[in-house]
Structures are given as C-alpha cells and as structure tokens.
Amino acid sequence: METSGPRVVAVQGDDIFDLQPLAGTVSELLERPALVADVRAAMTAKRWTASEVIEASLQRDSTRPHLLAPVDLQVIKACGVTFVDSMIERVIEERCGGDVSRAQQTRELVAKALGGSIAAIRPGSPEAAEAKKVLIQEGLWSQYLEVGIGPDPEVFTKAPVLSSVGLGAQVGIPSFSHWNNPEPELVLVATSEGSVVGAMLGNDVNLRDVEGRSALLLGKAKDNNASSALGPFIRLFDGDFSLNTLRDEEILLRVEGEDGYVLEGRNSVARISRPFEELVAATRGRHHQYPDGFALYTGTLFAPTQDRDEPGQGFTHHAGDVVTISSRHLGSLINQVGRTEELPEWSFGLRQLFDYLHRQRQLAGSAPAKA
C-alpha cells in the first residue's frame, strides 16, 4: 500500500483527497469547530480515484488503496428495540428460547395477543405504562417490551474501537449460530460533546438464536470478529443535509445468496419509536462521556420472517451471501458473509495506530520544505 496504514480522506464525486495533514484520525477531524469549511479548504489536490479505491475494496485487494470503516477512535454504540415490529420479533426470540423451529407458532401467539394496539404508543408515556400492566396480566411481559415501550431505551457497546469493517470486507457469522440475520441501520456519528455531525450506514449483524436463549448473552450475540460493518463513508452535515433529512430516510436491504436466494427488506426510519435526540442523550451525558466521540447504531425495523431452507424455519444467513444496504443520502454498504472463524483476524489495534501516526509525523518533519 502507498502509506502502509490508514489515511483520513474526503470524497467528492470520483475524487479522493488526503486529509492526513489536517487530522491524523477521523476522531480528531470531527472535533474541529469549522469542520465542513476546514475539510473543503483541505481538498486541494486529488490523490486517489474513488472508482479505483471502491473496486479494490469490493475485490478485497489489500495490496491497493481500499476503504476501511470510516471511524477510528470512536466507541461503537448501538440502540436496540427502537421499532415496534422488530421489538415483537425480539419477544418471539425470547419466547422460543432461540429455537427457530418454534418461531412461527410463537409469532402467531404473540401477534394474536398484542394485535396492533402498541404500535402507536410513545415509549415512557402513561399509555405505555398501562400497556405494561395489561401485558403482565396476560403473561406476555418481556424485557424487550421494557426497553421498547418503557422509559429507558436499550444502549449497548456493539464493538471495540478499531474493530469495525468497511465497504467490501466480509462480515462474520460464528459457527455456533444457526439463526441469524443482517440488521440494516442508520448510524449517527457524534463528537465528544455529543453533537451529531454526520451519518453513515451500518450492518449490526444479529445472532437470533444466541440472544434468544438469554439477553445476558447479548455480548456473545453482538460482538464477534467482523460483526460491525460501517460505511461506505461518513456524510457530514452541511446546509443541504442535516439530521432532519434523515428522519424520513428509507434504508434498503438486499441479500443475494450463492444458492440463488434473494431477500429484500426495508428499514423506514420514520417509524422509529424514539427521536434521535433521545437515543443520543441516553448514550452520552453526565452519566457517560466519550472523549473521542462515538458512532451510534439507531436500530432497525427489519426482522426477516421469510423462509429460506425449510418451511417455518425463517431466514438465516449462508456463507457467501452478499449483503447490500443502501439509502438515497448515504450510498451503499456492500459486504459478503463468511464464517467468523475463517475470516482474517482483527490485528490492527490502538498500539499499531499510534505507532503508525508517530512514524507519519516523523516523516512529515523530515520532509524538505516546499518552495
């Protein structure tokens, strides 16, 4: 590779500009008070061609410049159960103990009991508290309903710093999971002060059988090698693109299997049950700070029930599936599914990043001054 390490870049059309002289990390860049103006001022000389870099990324050719996850020092957080439809699917997972063969029967039972009565309930409202009483009486109360319509959203750490993968990389499904699916999500990018300055797409890979056995297995279900995919780029907010733009974003999903199977889905962000501001406030505040900023998965409406292999068995990934997550304002994030244990090990951590940045500073300091 040209630099033997990660570079902070800006993309405009088919041009990629090297921003490393402006900021050594994405985290540092996003803290700049005049962020958008500074980035534009630094876009002076094209260094790479976007089409060539994207091609190398999709071919997983690490010998050429390619895209990584567009965050670095930020903590990767996630909110779960932020849509009623997916909340009900989490209840089903719990009710059938992660056993996919019981899912359809449980789905019919829960749907009959719940109907559509909770779809419009505002989480944390008096109406939600009343619904909780009714559900308890029916023997259907669940920890997922607690975070779905209760006063506090679910917020968890999805992945360690520097462990997410980007466009073209493989996403991992561990061999111990036999019921799993992609989760196409809008991901907000925030500074150390909690200001949301941009957004991107994400795949919050989900192991339904593992989490369904016990919510205490959330870490085992959510945090595995290559289980967090982000990209293709962060789109920064400016005058024409803001947080309000994303409130009605439609995030599309397409899964194409080597067996010819195709699954399509949609995550309509407008149907989210809690506003973005509430999710961000639940993540960062007096109770918790993130000095290097954070990326926040905001949850998904999508929970596939379409059968793939056997009737009544629902959807689960096969190795080789190509997952495409796309939206009008944020582009397309494309990854292929592989077995976690067979994927390249996560090896580039904080020590390696700091060593690389130190070498880059030394090289910059020894470079001859330009006339």
The whole-number pLDDT of residue 105 equals 74
The arithmetic mean of pLDDT across residues 184-209, rounded, is 97
Residue that wins the pLDDT comparison between 355 and 93 = 355
Amino acid at 18: D
Query: At 292, which amino acid appears?
Result: D
* Predicted local confidence at residue 137, as pLDDT: 75
What is residue 114's predicted lDDT score, i.e. its pLDDT?
Answer: 58
pLDDT of residue 118: 63
Output the average pLDDT for the chain: 90
For every residue of 74-99, DSSP letters joined together read: SEEEEEE--SHHHHHHHHHHHHTTT-
Tens of pLDDT, residues 299-317: 998 878 888 988 877 899 9
Question: pLDDT band for position 133 (50/70/90)?
Answer: confident
44 pLDDT higher than 70: yes
In this model, does residue 369 exceed pLDDT 60?
no
Residue 120 pLDDT greater than 90, yes or no: no
Chain-centre distance of CA 256, in angstroms?
Answer: 20
Please determine, for residue 228, whether its predicted confidence score (pLDDT) is greater than 80. Answer: yes
Q: What percent of the chain has pLDDT over 70?
A: 92
Question: Looking at the predicted structure, is the pLDDT value of residue 282 above 70?
Answer: yes
pLDDT, tens digit (0-9, with 9 covering 90-100), for 135-188:
777 677 778 778 888 889 999 999 999 999 999 999 999 999 999 999 999 999
**Residue 164, CB-side half-sphere exposure with 13 Å CA sphere:** 34
- Distances in Å between the Cα of 297 and the Cα atoms of 2, 37, 51, 159, 294 are 32, 27, 27, 11, 10
Q: What is the pTM of this model?
A: 0.90
Contact between 293 and 189 under an 8 Å Cβ cutoff? The reply is: yes
d(CA 30, CA 261): 40
Residue 361 or 92, more confident: 361
* pLDDT tens-digit map of 341-362: 999 999 999 999 999 999 998 8
Q: Would you place residue 371 in the very low, low, confident or very high pLDDT band (cuts 50, 70, 90)?
A: very low
Q: Is the pLDDT of residue 90 over 80?
A: no
Count Cβ neighbours within 10 Å for each residue of 48-64 and write b for 16 or more, e otherwise: bebeebbebbbeeeeee
What is the arithmetic mean of pLDDT over 266-278? 94
